[in-house]
C-alpha cells in the first residue's frame, strides 16, 4: 500500500530518521480517522483536533489543512480502502538530540497510512469487560500526543485479564479509559467526565453527546466517582476504533444486570445509523 510522507504519496517504506523527535521523545501528535464504505467519518472534526494539539505543542503543520485533507482522501482512494482507519502523525521533526526545541527551524515530519480493519463489528454488542487502574498520566491529557506509555501499560494490564479496556481513576474520580471515553447511566441520566485537561475530548464522545441531545436524553458532563461507576445501571465506552462498546463487568463487579442496558443499546443503534447514513450518502 501507499503512504503519505510530508506532501507526497509514495510506496510504504522505511523513511524515519533515528533522530526524529517523535521517535526519541514522543514529541508529536496523531489522529486516527475511521473509514466506512470508503468514506472518512468526521474527518473535519479530527483535523480540527489535530490543529488544536499542534497549537498547544507549538508544532507547525507543514502545509494547509485543506491540502492535508485532500491528500488523506487521495490516499484512501489510491489504497482502495473500504473499511478501516487512517493513522496520521506529525512529529516536531529531525534534529540533533536535545530536549529543548531545535533553535533552527526544522520541518515537522508528517506520515499517514491506511489500515484495513473490520468496522461496525457486532461481536462486542453483547458487552465486554473492563478493569480499573490508576490514572498515572500527565496533566495535559487533552492533547493527542504520541506519548502513550501509561495508556500502553493500562491496555496491557487489561489484555492480560482478557478485558477490552482499562478504565482510569485519578484519586476517586473516573477520567476516561486507556484509548476511549467512558459514559455511565444512573436512572435516566448519563454522565461523562467534562472535557478538560484530564481527558482527551473524543470525537466519538462529542458525537454521542450531540446524539443524546437529539434523542432528548439527559447527558451531563460532570465528574463521577469510582463507586458511581461500579454501581451504575449502565456503562459504555466510545472511541473511533470501537465506536460504542457496552461494559457489563468491571474487575469482578457486574454492571446493572450484566447485560447491555436500554440506553446503551439505543445510543449504539442510533450511532451506527448515523455512520451508515453518512457513509452511503
Ligand atoms: N481517550 C483516549 C485516551 C484515546 O486514546 C482515545 C482514542 O484513541 C479516545 C479517548 C477516543 O477518542 P476518539 O473518539 O476521538 O477516537
The pLDDT assigned to 217 comes to 98
Whole-number average pLDDT of the chain? 97
Ligand 1 closest atom vs CA 181: 10
Residues 228, 168: contact at Cβ < 8 Å? no
Query: Which residue, judged by its Cα, is nearest atom 5 of ligand 1?
Result: 179
Q: Give me the catalytic one of 144, 155, 207, 262.
A: 144
d(CA 174, CA 208) in angstroms, rounded, equals 18
Residues 31, 47: contact at Cβ < 8 Å? yes
70 Cβ partners below 8 Å, 6+ apart?
none
Start-end of CATH 3.20.10.10 domains in the chain: 128-280
ipTM of this model? Answer: 0.99
The three three-digit cell numbers of residue 165, written as one number: 479496556
- Structural element, H or E, at residue 254: strand 253-254
Per-residue pLDDT tens digits for 161-192: 999 999 999 999 999 999 999 999 999 999 99
Q: Which of helix, strand or coil describes residue 137?
A: coil
Ligand 1 center to 96 CA (angstroms): 32
- Structural element, H or E, at residue 225: none
Residue 232 vs residues 55, 189, 192: alpha-carbon distances, Å: 37, 10, 12
Q: What DSSP assignment string belongs to 187-200?
A: TTEEEE--SSTTS-
The pLDDT assigned to 105 comes to 86
Nearest to 234 by CA among 181, 195, 189, 169: 189
Q: Taking CB atoms and a 6 Å cutoff, what residues make up the pocket around ligand 1?
A: 32, 151, 176, 179-181, 200, 202-205, 238-240
Tell me the CATH architecture of domain 2-116. 2-Layer Sandwich (3.30)
Mutate to test the pocket of ligand 1, among 198, 240, 242 (most ligand atoms within 8 A of CB): 240
Per-residue pLDDT tens digits for 254-280: 999 999 999 999 999 999 999 999 998
Start-end of CATH 3.30.470.10 domains in the chain: 2-116
Mutate to test the pocket of ligand 1, among 26, 154, 180, 241 (most ligand atoms within 8 A of CB): 180
d(CA 145, CA 89) in angstroms, rounded, equals 9
The pLDDT assigned to 280 comes to 87
The pLDDT assigned to 197 comes to 98
Q: Is the confidence at residue 281, as pLDDT, over 80?
A: no
Nearest to 200 by CA among 148, 160, 141: 141
Per-residue pLDDT tens digits for 133-144: 999 999 999 999
Q: Reply yes or no on whether 144 is catalytic.
A: yes
Confidence class for position 122, pLDDT limits 50, 70, 90: confident
Fold adopted by 128-280: D-amino Acid Aminotransferase; Chain A, domain 2 (3.20.10)
Residues 205, 192: contact at Cβ < 8 Å? yes
Confidence class for position 204, pLDDT limits 50, 70, 90: very high
Amino acid at each position: 500500500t501507499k503512504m503519505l510522507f510530508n506532501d507526497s504519496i509514495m510506496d510504504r517504506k522505511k523513511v524515519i530518521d533515528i533522530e526524529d523527535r517523535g521517535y526519541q521523545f514522543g514529541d508529536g501528535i496523531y489522529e486516527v480517522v475511521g473509514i466506512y464504505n470508503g468514506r472518512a467519518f468526521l474527518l473535519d472534526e479530527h483535523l480540527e483536533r489535530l490543529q488544536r494539539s499542534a497549537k498547544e505543542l507549538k508544532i507547525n503543520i507543514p502545509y494547509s489543512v485543506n491540502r492535508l485533507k485532500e491528500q488523506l482522501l487521495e490516499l484512501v482512494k489510491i489504497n482502495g480502502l473500504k473499511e478501516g482507519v487512517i493513522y496520521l502523525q506529525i512529529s516536531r521533526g529531525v534534529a540533533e538530540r536535545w530536549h529543548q526545541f531545535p533553535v533552527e527551524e526544522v520541518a515537522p515530519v508528517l506520515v499517514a497510512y491506511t489500515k484495513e480493519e473490520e468496522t461496525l463489528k457486532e461481536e462486542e454488542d453483547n458487552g465486554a469487560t473492563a478493569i480499573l487502574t490508576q490514572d498515572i498520566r500527565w496533566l495535559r491529557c487533552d492533547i493527542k500526543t504520541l506519548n502513550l506509555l501509561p495508556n500502553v501499560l493500562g491496555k496491557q494490564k487489561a489484555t492480560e485479564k482478557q478485558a477490552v479496556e482499562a478504565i482510569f481513576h485519578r484519586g476517586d474520580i473516573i477520567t476516561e479509559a486507556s484509548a476511549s471515553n467512558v459514559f455511565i447511566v444512573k436512572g435516566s441520566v448519563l454522565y461523562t467526565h467534562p472535557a478538560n485537561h484530564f481527558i482527551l475530548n473524543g470525537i466519538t464522545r462529542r458525537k454521542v453527546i450531540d446524539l443524546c441531545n437529539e434523542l432528548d436524553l439527559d447527558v451531563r458532563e460532570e465528574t463521577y466517582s469510582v463507586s458511581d461507576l461500579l454501581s451504575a445501571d449502565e456503562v459504555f465506552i466510545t472511541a473511533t476504533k470501537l465506536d460504542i462498546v457496552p461494559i457489563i463487568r468491571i474487575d469482578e463487579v457486574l454492571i446493572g444486570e450484566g447485560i447491555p442496558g436500554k440506553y446503551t443499546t439505543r445510543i449504539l443503534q442510533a450511532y451506527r445509523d448515523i455512520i451508515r447514513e453518512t457513509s452511503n450518502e
